[in-house]
């Protein structure tokens, strides 16, 4: 049928595999036991159910949509054929040992408790219950809430205790009973005859089973969506300002990538992320409250790490070992020792996986993707103007914005301003000049910003302006002029002077100015006259309103994500590898040391 496979892992129904991985028997529980409506195959169009649920119980529906739901189920050690939920944990997870079962559950984000006698009590991750059908745009009631609430009853389980909200608070029981009655009133029953084939869209309908008299045998083939090019499933760790910017830009990638999970320890940050995702996407995104849960889940291909700087190392220790592709927001870490540890962990991963199979690791340096700066890099790389010799970068802007718990006010959390902010510029220096630094001098201070602020008895110690000069092994030199109390908007000016001219990029003006000198040598005692001067070529590179609305970096985050996705698919080299991240960090640390910072 041209559809993806669909693994029946974790399901409650006792089944027999007839054709490996393709055909199973339908639920083999006793024929006198009815099975409530749920998803897999189906007999009830459930956008009606969603409409009923939302219109009759709007407050509860909002809670379900915002928090998601968790399912609680106890599985027997040995399959119990007297129960519709009697499948053993070994069969459910296709394993033979407890350790193997725990590994599967860990990847699914499921928590567990081993009970006396060998039974297993499980609690799923917070899962969406209201989703949007991508083809129709209609909201659907896609879940097993009613099946669990009304039907998960046996010697181990009590249905009305089998469902809780994502924050573990109780569900609205009268509302779920009303939804169950609504479903029963609108069911459509099929009288099976030998040889019948029923094809049903699992994403838009529910199915149930009435009691019946044997003999009867129904086979089921569970298939996924139609096969298409690989869509990368992204899990975003940290849903503060940058996490939300990634959410907005992933949505613009046109099927290359989709957010399937988010994680944060802050409930406020998670609420903001769900608001950012909106009514169509939020119901399809799993919510986690720890990085470990999202790292170990099996419906995420790439991890986008947007946590505070000082937390990167703690998340990377777990993420690198997961075998997932990683995009880590800048800076890589805040100490030399932590960067060295990341380097060691990634080396071990390559050795373990093999260089060709190892997942990619990329650090987010989005300034190189701002369209004017990207054009400047292209012009410099072309060598039309000769070798680059002098590079100057200036950013004049407003002070640091407020972050969660004000973590960005202290050097111990950020690594210092030349780590938190100027990492972009040191990355650009190395990228444009294509050489390694041999010396760094920096001078800066805290002149204006945050001096009257106090947090937990501490006064912010981050500098708000700095000048830096970097000498490179190839003889080129670069300078940085950073001032964070200069203007009410963020302005960048990057100018590279080559042997025969210069290129200058400006943001937010979105311009590139290219000058190829007419007379490089042989000047007399007077400057070149008007007719002897080169005429600058000025190129305007405005971004679309859509990209402008998606972030605060001139569309750079979108282009960075696009490059990351292409690297994951093997279509291009990784743009910012560990060695580039590490070198930029080393320069930042040298600059910090020259300022007397830790």
Residues 176 and 295 in one domain: no
Calculate the average pLDDT of the chain: 85
User: Does residue 440 register a pLDDT over 70?
Assistant: yes
Q: What is the per-residue pLDDT across 458-470, written as a single tens digit (0 to 9) for each?
A: 999 999 999 999 9
> How many Å apart are CA 382 and CA 387, to the nearest integer?
9
Same-domain check for residues 410 and 543: yes
221 and 236, same domain (yes or no): no
Instruction: Kindly state whether residues 197 and 258 are assigned to the same domain.
Output: no
**Residues 53-100 pLDDT 10s:** 788 888 988 898 888 899 999 999 999 988 888 889 998 888 999 999
- The percent helix, strand, coil of the chain (3-state, each to 5) is 35, 25, 40
Quick: pLDDT tens for 368-379.
Answer: 999 999 999 999
Q: How far is CA 508 from CA 404, 514, 519, in A?
A: 27, 17, 32
As for how many domains the chain has, the answer is 3
Instruction: Give the mean model confidence (pLDDT) for residues 438-453.
Output: 93
* Distance in angstroms (rounded) separating the CA atoms of residues 548 and 569: 27
Last residue of a domain, one of 203, 225, 247: 225
Domain end point (choices 188, 203, 225)? 225
Give the domain extent around 307: 232-356
Residues 291 and 213 in one domain: no
User: Which is more confidently placed, 133 or 100?
Assistant: 100
Backbone angles phi and psi of 574, in degrees to 5:
-70, 120
Q: What is the pLDDT of residues 170-214, one digit of tens each?
A: 999 999 999 889 888 888 777 778 888 887 776 667 777 777 777
What integer pLDDT is reported at residue 524 of this predicted model? Answer: 81
564 inside domain: no
Closest CA to 29 of 76, 97, 99: 76
Q: Which of 206, 225, 244 lies at the terminal end of a domain, its last residue?
A: 225
Q: What are phi and psi of 443, to 5 degrees?
A: -135, 130
How confident is the model at residue 201, as a pLDDT?
72
Asked if residue 559 belongs to a domain, the reply is no
Give ∠ CA 218-224-226 in degrees, rounded to 5.
125
Lowest model confidence (mean pLDDT) among 68-72, 110-114, 128-132, 272-276: 128-132
Residue 571 lies in a domain: no
Looking at the domain assignment, is residue 560 inside a domain? no
Residue 127, strand partner residues:
69
Q: Which residues contact 466 (CB under 8 A, 6 or more apart)?
A: 417, 418, 422, 442, 443, 444, 445, 480, 482, 591, 595
Model confidence, pTM: 0.67
Highest mean pLDDT among 46-50, 386-390, 526-530: 386-390
Q: What is the CA radius of gyration of the chain?
A: 29
Q: Are residues 521 and 451 in the same domain?
A: yes
CATH code of residue 237: 3.40.50.720
């Amino acid at each position: 049928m041209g559809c993806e496979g669909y693994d029946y892992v974790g399901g409650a129904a006792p089944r027999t595999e007839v054709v490996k991985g393709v055909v199973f028997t339908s639920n083999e529980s006793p024929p006198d036991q009815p099975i409530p409506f749920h998803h897999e195959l189906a007999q009830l169009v459930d956008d009606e159910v969603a409409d009923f649920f939302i219109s009759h119980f709007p407050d509860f529906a909002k809670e379900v949509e915002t928090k998601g739901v968790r399912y609680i189920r106890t599985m027997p050690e040995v399959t119990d054929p007297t129960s519709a939920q009697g499948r053993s944990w070994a069969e459910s997870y296709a394993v033979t040992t407890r350790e193997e079962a725990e590994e599967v559950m860990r990847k699914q984000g499921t928590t567990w408790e081993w009970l006396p006698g060998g039974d297993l009590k499980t609690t799923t991750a917070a899962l969406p219950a209201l989703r949007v059908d991508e083809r129709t745009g209609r909201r659907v009631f896609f879940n097993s809430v009613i099946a669990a609430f009304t039907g998960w009853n046996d010697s181990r389980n009590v249905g009305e205790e089998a469902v809780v909200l994502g924050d573990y608070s109780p569900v609205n029981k009268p509302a779920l009973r009303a939804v169950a009655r609504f479903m029963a009133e609108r069911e459509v029953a099929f009288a099976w005859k030998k040889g019948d084939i029923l094809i049903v869209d699992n994403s838009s309908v529910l199915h149930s089973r009435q009691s019946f008299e044997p003999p009867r045998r129904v086979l089921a083939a569970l298939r996924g969506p139609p096969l298409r090019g690989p869509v990368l499933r992204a899990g975003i760790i940290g849903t503060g300002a940058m996490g939300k910017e990634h959410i907005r830009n992933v949505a613009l990638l046109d099927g290359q990538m989709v957010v399937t999970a988010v994680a944060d320890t802050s409930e406020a940050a998670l609420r903001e992320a769900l608001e950012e995702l909106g009514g169509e996407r939020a119901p399809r995104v799993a919510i986690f409250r720890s990085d470990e849960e999202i790292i170990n889940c099996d419906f995420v291909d790439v991890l986008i790490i947007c946590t505070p700087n000082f937390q990167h190392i703690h998340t990377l220790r777990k993420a690198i070992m997961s075998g997932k592709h990683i995009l880590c927001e800048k800076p890589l870490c805040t100490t030399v020792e932590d960067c060295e540890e990341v380097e060691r962990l990634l080396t071990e991963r390559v050795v373990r996986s093999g260089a060709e199979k190892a997942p990619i690791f990329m650090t987010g340096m989005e300034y190189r993707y701002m369209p004017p700066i990207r054009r400047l890099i292209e012009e410099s790389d072309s060598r039309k103007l000769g070798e680059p010799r002098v590079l100057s970068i200036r950013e004049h802007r407003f002070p640091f914005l407020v972050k969660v718990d004000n973590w960005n006010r202290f050097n111990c959390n950020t690594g210092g301003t030349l780590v938190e902010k100027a990492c972009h510029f040191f990355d650009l220096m190395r990228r444009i000049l294509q050489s390694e630094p041999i010396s760094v001098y920096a001078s800066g201070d805290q002149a204006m910003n945050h001096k009257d602020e106090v947090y937990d008895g501490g006064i912010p110690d981050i500098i708000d302006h700095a000048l830096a000069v970097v000498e490179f092994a190839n003889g080129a030199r670069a300078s940085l002029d950073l001032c964070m109390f200069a203007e009410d908007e963020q302005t960048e000016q990057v100018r590279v002077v080559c042997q025969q001219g210069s290129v200058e990029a400006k943001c937010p003006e979105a311009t590139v100015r290219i000058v190829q000198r007419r007379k490089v040598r042989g000047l007399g005692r007077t400057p070149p006259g008007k007719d002897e001067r080169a005429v600058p070529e000025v190129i305007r590179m405005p971004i679309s309103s859509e990209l402008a609305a998606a972030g605060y970096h001139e569309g750079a985050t979108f282009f960075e994500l696009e490059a990351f996705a292409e690297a994951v698919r093997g279509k291009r080299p990784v743009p910012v590898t560990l060695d580039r991240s590490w070198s930029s960090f080393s320069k930042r640390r040298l600059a910090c040391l020259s300022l007397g910072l830790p």
